[in-house]
Structure 1
Amino acid sequence: MGPSNQRHLLRLALSCRKISAQVTNPGTDSIVAMASSTEQEFISHYRSKITTFPRSHKFWDAKIASRIGEKLGFRLNDIGISHVEIDVTEELSRPIQYRKMVLPFLISVKRAGINVAGAEKLESQM
């Protein structure tokens, strides 16, 4: 079975300070691709949020989430993965302010040509 036929799991780690996405291999649980708001491209945005007054406690938004999804989608395309799935139960258990940021992320991954199983259930719950 080639890499494009396996069902890879997309996991998100969200906090007020960062968003991190990783895709794991179903057989070994090893990470095959990842993208995060801590990458070099987002450093200037992060620094601008730190230096604002009054200080914000939220360092990423829908625009950053979308860009991270785009980067992850391109990386998955580069290694030949065209299908990932999300844990819908886990995503629905997140607080609403985080779920609103997950949707732009998932839409960007889809726009990059990656099929995200479970995303339609998440979209219908919003």
Structure 2
Amino acid sequence: MSTPPQHLLRLVLSCRKVTAQVTNTTTQSIIAMASSSEQEFIPRYRAQLNRYPRSQHFWDARVASRVGEKLGFRLVEMGVSDVDIDVAEEISRPIHFRKIVIPLFDSVKKTGIDVSGIDQLRF
């Protein structure tokens, strides 16, 4: 019998931003969060907004990777050592989104956080 996950990493994706949040599954509260709408990403966002022809997506795998890195560092500071992802939710995403969010999970893992379920998302 396996124990339920303590921390769950979930992504909120839109064409304008990517947000990663980690929730404590017992209290349903967000304990850490990182987003592409943070101050660091604003100059890049504005440059893409004023570009012609306009793009449909304002973030890419590099931005997702940096968001994952920021989230990972915040989790390390809090003393969190492992998170789980909802594999079924991630697999249900369109393939083009999955390709650009896998670097986010890899960046979280590179900071020393164990991300359970990431191996099932590989192509």
| TM score, norm. by length of structure 2 | 0.95
For structure 2, list consecutive stretches of 5 or more residues without a partner in the other structure.
Answer: none
Aligned residue runs from structure 1 range 108-123, under 5 A: 108-123=107-122
Amino acid at match of 1:89: A
Amino acid at match of 2:17: K
Aligned residue runs from structure 1 range 51-70, under 5 A: 51-70=50-69
**Hey, what's the Cα distance between the residues in 2 that align with 1:7 and 1:110?**
17
Partner of residue 13, structure 2: 14
**Hey, what's the Cα distance between the residues in 1 that align with 2:87 and 2:50?**
36
% identical equivalent positions: 61
Post-superposition offset of 1:16: 1.1
Partner of residue 76, structure 1: 75
Partner of residue 105, structure 1: 104
**Hey, what's the Cα distance between the residues in 1 that align with 2:94 and 2:22?**
22
For structure 1, list consecutive stretches of 5 or more residues without a partner in the other structure.
Answer: 1-5
**Hey, what's the Cα distance between the residues in 2 that align with 1:88 and 1:26?**
16
RMSD: 0.8
Aligned structure 1 segments of 4 or more residues deviating by more than 6 angstroms: none
**Hey, what's the Cα distance between the residues in 2 that align with 1:82 and 1:71?**
15
**Hey, what's the Cα distance between the residues in 1 that align with 2:112 and 2:118?**
14
Aligned residues: 119
Aligned residue runs from structure 1 range 76-95, under 5 A: 76-95=75-94
Amino acid at match of 1:18: K
Post-superposition offset of 1:48: 0.5
| TM score, norm. by length of structure 1 | 0.92
Contact kept in structure 1, 2:6 and 2:26, CA below 8 Å: no
